[in-house]
Amino acid sequence: MSMSLNYFSKFRSVFIYGVSLAALLFLLKWLEWRFIIVNYTFEIYAGFIAVIFTGLGIWLALKLSKPKTTIVTVEKETVITNDEFVLNENVLDEMGISKRELEVLQLIAQGLSNQQIAEQLFVSLNTIKTHSSKVFEKLEVQRRTQAVEKAKRLSLIP
């Protein structure tokens, strides 16, 4: 709901209140002159007016009071498949593994043979052997399968 409409409703309430007040006073005056008023004491009028306008006040207040909002925060667990890989560069530095070596490591993890890796990287088979050997040294492993396993543990590979 918009602000202007809210303000109009407030204004209307006040207007109704004013009209009601006038009407009631008029009614009372009319009653006074016409009927039983002369016999009634002032206290009864006062009490009547008090009760009426208390009700009016209550009505006004309820009409005008802003709804108090209590924000209840409900935690909803959302399962997020944690499949985004972030390379652990710290480990990479500590181990002293170069870019090229990491590249070879990744291809090893994909199941490629040294020959295939050599072809893919446009270098000789011997070069790949050297790279993989260095990687194994740095990872302190003996086999490529071990290297892959350890590299994944160390977040060097997805």
Please state the separation of Cα 127 from the chain's center in Å.
Answer: 52
Q: Which residue, 108, 20, 126, is CA-closest to 63?
A: 20
Tokens of 116: 């295939």
Q: What Rg, from alpha-carbon coordinates, does the chain have?
A: 43
In whole angstroms, how close is the CB of 28 to a second copy at the nearest point?
A: 6
Q: Which residue's CB is nearer to DNA, number 20 or number 88?
A: 88
Q: Which of 13, 16, 31, 53 binds a second copy (CB under 8 A)?
A: 53
The option from DNA, a second copy, none interacting with 124 (CB < 5 to 8 A, set by class) reads: DNA
In whole angstroms, how close is the CB of 154 to DNA at the nearest point?
A: 17
| DSSP H/E element including 27 | helix 3-34
The option from a second copy, DNA, none interacting with 126 (CB < 5 to 8 A, set by class) reads: DNA
Q: Which residue, 101, 140, 142, 136, is CA-closest to 121?
A: 101
Please state the separation of Cα 46 from the chain's center in Å.
Answer: 55
Q: What is the binding site for DNA (CB under 7 A)?
A: 96, 98-101, 113-115, 121, 123-127, 129-133, 136-137, 142-145, 147
Q: What is the binding site for a second copy (CB under 8 A)?
A: 17, 21, 24-25, 28-29, 32, 42-43, 45-47, 49-62, 65, 67-82, 108-113, 141-150
